[in-house]
Amino acid sequence: MARDRAISRQLRSRIAHLAARLMVVDGIDALSLAKRKAARQVGATQARSLPSNEEVEAALEIYLQLYRAEEHAERVAHLRACALRLMGTLARFNPKLSGPVLEGNAGRYSNVDLHLFTDSPKTVEFFMLDQGFDYKQRHRKIYRGAEPATIVAFLVCTKDADFNISVFDYNDLRLGLRSTSNGRAFRHAGPESVAAMLNQAGKASQSD
């Protein structure tokens, strides 16, 4: 039994590191897709062999630090700066940065995840139309605690970056929002926090 658990841990670790490489090299942005593709490559067919999102994120951070450290730092700073500019434009909707750009493990082809919180989600689309945004509307499934819900989302394309923008109710700010029922709650950073991260990164690069 102990040997089986050890083999299972080794397999999960192998899949996690392969998934991380696929995300960086092949530009796969979705953790679930990267995990499934990595599992197929090693011949793993059982769901319990799949690593958690947190395991893949940890492997991704290691991979980026080992092989793409300088390029990665520049890319993350660029995407955070792009996020901050758009957050300024969308200030009336309480924008928060989330996802890989916030966590610092964004790959070369990662989109920027912004979460908006408003009492009138439809107003967001009217605003985008008025501002001439290049966007596509879609829907995504999220969890408010243990309860599933469907929300409006937008893919917004700019010359500097592409954004996944999810629109939540204003009251959702107080809830533990998740992308899956058993996943980790979203982390968020407002404009001031993002600006502070950019400032800190700038000081660190000057000291180097």
Domain boundaries, the chain: 2-67, 70-207
In the three-class reduction of DSSP (H, G, I as helix; E, B as strand; rest coil), residue 171 is classed as helix
CA distance readout (Å), 30 to 4, 35, 136, 163: 29, 9, 18, 14
Q: What span, in angstroms and rounded, lies between the C-alpha atoms of 96 and 103? A: 13
User: What is the reported pLDDT for 207?
Assistant: 55
Give every CB contact of residue 68 below 8 A, 6+ residues apart in sequence.
24, 108
Helix axes 191-207, 69-89, angle to 10 degrees: 150
- Give the DSSP H or E segment for 168: strand 162-169
Question: What digits encode the pLDDT tens for the residues 17-72?
Answer: 888 888 777 767 777 888 888 888 888 777 777 888 888 888 877 877 776 667 77
CATH number of the 70-207 domain: 3.30.460
Residue 155 pLDDT > 80: yes
Question: What is the percent of the chain where pLDDT is above 70?
Answer: 89
Give the separation between CA 73 and CA 162, rounded to whole angstroms.
18
